[in-house]
Structure 1
Amino acid sequence: MEAKIGIKQEHLAAVAQSLSKILADEFVLYTKTRKAHWNVVGIDFLAKHKFFEEQYGQLEQIVDDVAERIRSLGHYAPASLKEYLELTHLSEQSREKNNSAGFIKELLADHESILIHLRENINNYVTALHDAGTSDYITGLMETHEKMAWMLRAHLE
């Protein structure tokens, strides 16, 4: 059934497509953070194992929230690995060493990349697509990623 929420259908479709790309980025970052949690080694193993668990827990909630935002706009959320890999702008990476600093640098770069992407597109939701709700949602998402990035960055100082 079509969502009749005061936004033109073509705008809803554009917002859903944009959110689908964000969902793909979030899912790839979630998976990479899980990988860090499972595979980190070193003297700081336990602390980083728990730290990465906390981070992937936050990302798991973000993934669910973005998908539900897409659904609330009357569209279906992508939900396959193939779709995510086609939509994401992040890359999968294989590591030779599974130390905490390497994982943290890689995850930090992904958070920062997502932040730049969100920041570059936030005004478009309001001005071109007339969706203040999604713009507000993206603002909150940026704040979450800023804090997560800060937590990662603090481990590198």
Structure 2
Amino acid sequence: MDDDNLGSMVDALTGAMSAILLVTIFLMVNTMSSISDSVKEYGKESLYKNQEMISDIFKREAPKLVLKDNRVYFFQSFKLTDEQIRSLDEDFIYSEPKKLIVYSDSDESILTYNTLLFVESTYLREYIDKLEVVYFPSKNDGLTEFVWE
């Protein structure tokens, strides 16, 4: 092979390598921008979900109290009224419950918070050493229930 043939082959290989390099760089930049968009979208979804959960926690309402069935139920979060606390305290003093059954599909942190809030708000705090707390999946979607025996 002479220099004239090798020169054109080197030029062709250089051009091909340049094209491959440009396509590779283009694909890498395109992939990085799509990953960035995915991360932004994930961040927005997570922020919305957490804002919704926080607003639910601050928007606490009085739960439904059914003393004849020994149960209290609510969605997401609750705040006992003074009248409900008095009724529950009277019932707990009279019946001395040994077991608290919790039915819920909430996250573990929310479930723990709600359980501790219920126990601390009522006379159950006096029985905390003897109280057995049992957790089960919710019977009704989204509903949290406290039942005592």
Confirm or deny a common fold (TM above 0.5). Answer: no
More strand per residue: 2
Point out the structure with max Rg over C-alpha: 2
**Higher relative CO (CA 8 A, sep ≥ 6), structure 1 or 2?**
1
User: Which TM-score tier does this pair reach, normalised by the shorter chain?
Assistant: under 0.3
Per the normalisation by structure 2, the TM-score is 0.25
